[in-house]
């Protein structure tokens, strides 16, 4: 089965940064417990512009993790699957 990945972009104001990190830590814990990897990146040229990645070994694992998340992504059905190049 191909790996699955989802992404979500968020822009956070400086005053909301600490609260945002608390929520992201909870999401990371949830996705890791669901058998997924979770990463957060901040745009180098724009402080407060973040992108979150959740990756799973297959589509079903990531779909189920989104379905049970306290804060699911804005579009939980938008899941990308790995393409094997010929």
Does 86 fall in a domain? no
Q: Is residue 33 part of a domain?
A: yes
Domain-located, residue 65: yes
Residue 13, domain CATH = 3.30.70.100
* Confidence category of residue 4, pLDDT binned at 50, 70, 90: very high
Domains contained in the chain, number: 1
Q: Angle, to 10 degrees, between the axis of helix 59-68 and the axis of helix 17-33?
A: 130
Asked if residue 52 is part of any domain, the answer here is: yes
pTM assigned to the model: 0.91
What domain range includes position 16?
Answer: 4-74
* 31-71 tens-digit pLDDT: 999 999 999 999 999 999 999 999 999 999 999 999 999 99
**Strand runs (DSSP E) across 12-78, as ranges?**
37-42, 49-56
Question: What is d(CA 30, CA 10) in angstroms, rounded to the nearest whole number?
Answer: 18
């Amino acid at each position: 089965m191909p790996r699955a990945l989802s992404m979500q972009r968020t822009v956070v104001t400086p005053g909301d940064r600490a609260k945002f990190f608390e929520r992201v830590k909870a999401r990371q814990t949830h996705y890791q417990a669901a058998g997924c990897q979770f990463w957060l990146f901040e745009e180098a040229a724009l402080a407060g512009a973040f992108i979150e990645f959740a990756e799973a070994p297959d589509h079903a694992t990531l779909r189920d993790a989104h379905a049970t998340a306290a804060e699911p992504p804005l579009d939980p059905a938008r899941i990308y699957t790995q393409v094997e190049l010929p």
